[in-house]
């Protein structure tokens, strides 16, 4: 019983909600014309004579939605060479800051890599007191090897970024 009542309530709400929308879609008495062309033009801004001269047909009973487009913004005037938006002196300062930061990061990563390689000891690091189980030792060695590979990858990435920066 509740399903029937709720379905009826939803249907009535839907119908009552669409009644005013139908009036708005019709343009409230305006005649809408469909004019030939590429693309097909729908308009209500023509008089009957203009519409007839252009070969337009009237649309009756068809809901038409009109969406106005936004005018594209004019391009912003670029300052500096090659359309850059940053003055050349500012760009040089940014590039030198980026280079300085990357070089310090590269030094730090290389120091960490050297420390990891020293601890790794060519795949035979010293055993620690809690590594009575040989598998624990092997797991730590594998983790160290993976850490070294990550550091080497990080260093290569920083070097690639440095190579992209102008001198």
H-only helix segments in 76-133: 88-120
**pLDDT tens digits, one per residue of 54-104:** 888 887 766 666 677 888 887 665 555 555 588 989 999 999 999 999 999
Burial class (CB in 10 A: 0-12, 13-18, 19+), 32: buried
Segment 2-26 mean pLDDT: 48
Write the pLDDT tens digit of every residue in 105-114.
Answer: 999 999 999 9
Tell me, yes or no, whether 106 and 148 share the same domain.
yes
- Verify that 97 and 55 share a domain, yes or no: no
Q: What's the rounded Cα separation, in Å, for the pair 34 and 36? A: 7
Same domain, 157 and 101: yes
109: domain range? Answer: 85-164
Task: State in Å, rounded, how far the first CA of the chain is from the last one.
Answer: 80
Whether residue 11 is contained in a domain is answered as: no
With respect to residue 48, please indicate whether it lies within any of the assigned structural domains: yes
Structurally, the chain folds into a number of domains equal to 2
- CA max distance for the chain: 100
């Amino acid at each position: 019983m509740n399903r029937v009542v709720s379905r009826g309530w939803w249907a009535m709400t839907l119908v009552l909600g669409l009644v005013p929308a139908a009036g708005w879609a019709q343009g409230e008495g305006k005649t809408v014309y469909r004019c030939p062309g590429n693309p097909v033009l729908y308009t209500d801004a023509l008089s009957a004579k203009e519409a007839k001269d252009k070969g337009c047909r009237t649309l009756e009973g068809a809901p038409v939605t009109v969406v106005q487009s936004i005018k594209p913004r004019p391009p912003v005037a670029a300052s500096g060479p090659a359309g850059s938006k940053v003055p050349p002196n500012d760009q040089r300062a940014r590039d030198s800051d980026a280079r300085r930061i990357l070089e310090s990061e590269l030094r730090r990563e290389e120091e960490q890599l050297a420390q990891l390689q020293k601890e790794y000891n060519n795949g035979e690091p010293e055993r620690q007191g809690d590594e009575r189980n040989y598998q624990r030792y092997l797991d730590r060695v594998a983790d160290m090897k993976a850490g070294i590979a990550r550091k080497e990858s990080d260093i290569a990435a920083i070097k690639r970024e440095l190579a992209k920066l102008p001198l």
